[in-house]
Amino acid sequence: MKKKVLIFGITGQDGSYLAKEFLKKNYLVYGVSRFNNLKNLKKIKIVNLVNIFFLKKFSDQNINKILNKKFDSIYFFGGQSKVTKSYKEDKETFDSNIIPVKIILEFIKNNRKIKFFFASSGEIFGNQNSKKINEDSIKVPLSPYALAKLTCLELIKSYREMFKLKVGSFIFFNHESNLRDKSYVIVKIIKNLIAIKHKRKKSILLGNINIKRDWGWAPEYMKIVFKISKKNKYDDYIIATGVTVSLKKIISTACHELKIKIPKIISKKKFQRKFDIFQNSPSISKLKKEIKYYPKIKYDQVIKKIVNNEL
């Protein structure tokens, strides 16, 4: 019989690409989504190949009803996923992440063969300046989103250690794809630069362009997720490229790709986060050592892929 996988957040960027990865490996793919928005699944042409449960609210009863359908592995890529939105929607952010994760962990206590993996975020580390971040680095969440992700990571770690469950977390740093919309900064920049190239605009409104991040390619990250799950590694793993660059460098790279001069950048306070992270530089040494597979697509290739898609 085919193995069954359940993906919470299957209609999001990561959930969609992860579903595609499992379909390629001949799994039966099921998903849970809070919203009836299938555009990402349609874009990558798998919408008719997955089975989706729509849940507006998470509760013990409605989640356990789905979990009882007997899955081999469960992946949580759901919940409110935008840092800036989490300041205004803190309750939604906490409830949509922590509640379902706790319910899943309790279910797995009585169904110990099930594997469970959670998508955490590099945001949990906060501002580490130039210091290289590893899985054991101090955690300083600076947003409700980061706090929710850290709470789930610690819950999973505790259940793994106390009850010897097959559970782990992926700590994702920034990763983009052609499924991102214009609310994400790299897509916003590229869309604006294309408009400038075609003489429809003269400048770009942005926040702090000196922030530094590690940007990777989402489809490649989901391949790594699959590899970790198949190796039966149950731990916390940073997934990143290991290369940190400024937003200013992203802009100049995109301009080079579009063959235009760097335009006027207008910095607006409203586009800056309340508690922004100036720099985070992840180490992927654990990924290299234990999984022996790590991201090869760096920021410049990410930009090239998105530019080609937008053009």
pLDDT exceeds 80 at position 270:
no
pLDDT exceeds 80 at position 252:
yes
Bridge partners (DSSP) of residue 279 are 212
Check residue 2 and give its pLDDT.
Answer: 92
Q: Which of 179, 191, 174 is nearest to 44 (CA)?
A: 179
- Mean pLDDT for 63-84 is 94
Residues 237-264 as b or e (16 or more Cβ within 10 Å = b): bbbbbbbbbbbbbbbebbbebbeeeebe
| pLDDT class of 163 with cuts at 50, 70, 90 | very high
Percent residues over pLDDT 70 in the chain: 98
Q: What ranges do the domains of the chain cover? A: 4-175+216-239, 182-214+244-280+297-310
Q: What CATH number labels 4-175+216-239?
A: 3.40.50.720
Sign for the CA dihedral angle at 236, 241, 245, 249 comes to negative
* Cα separation, 41 vs 29, whole angstroms: 12
Check residue 253 and give its pLDDT.
Answer: 97
| pLDDT class of 129 with cuts at 50, 70, 90 | confident
* Cα separation, 74 vs 32, whole angstroms: 11
What's the whole-number average pLDDT of the chain? 94
Check residue 48 and give its pLDDT.
Answer: 97
Arch. (CATH architecture) of 182-214+244-280+297-310: Alpha-Beta Complex (3.90)
Q: Do the Cβ atoms of 304 and 250 come closer than 8 Å?
A: no
Which pTM does this prediction carry?
Answer: 0.95
* Cα separation, 138 vs 32, whole angstroms: 32
Rg of the chain taking only CA atoms, in angstroms: 19
pLDDT exceeds 80 at position 268:
no
- Mean pLDDT for 180-185 is 89
Measure Cα distances from 166 to 60, 63, 210 in Å: 21, 19, 40
pLDDT exceeds 90 at position 244:
yes
| pLDDT class of 275 with cuts at 50, 70, 90 | confident
Indicate left, alpha or beta for 129 from its phi (over 0: left) and psi (-120 to 50: alpha). Answer: left
Q: How do residues 197-242 score in pLDDT, each as one tens digit?
A: 999 999 998 888 999 999 999 999 999 999 999 998 899 999 999 9
Q: Give the pair of three-digit tokens for residue 51.
A: 């089975």
Q: Give the pair of three-digit tokens for residue 58.
A: 């998470």
Between CA 105 and CA 112, with CA 111 as vertex, the angle to 5 degrees is: 85
| pLDDT class of 183 with cuts at 50, 70, 90 | confident
Check residue 232 and give its pLDDT.
Answer: 87
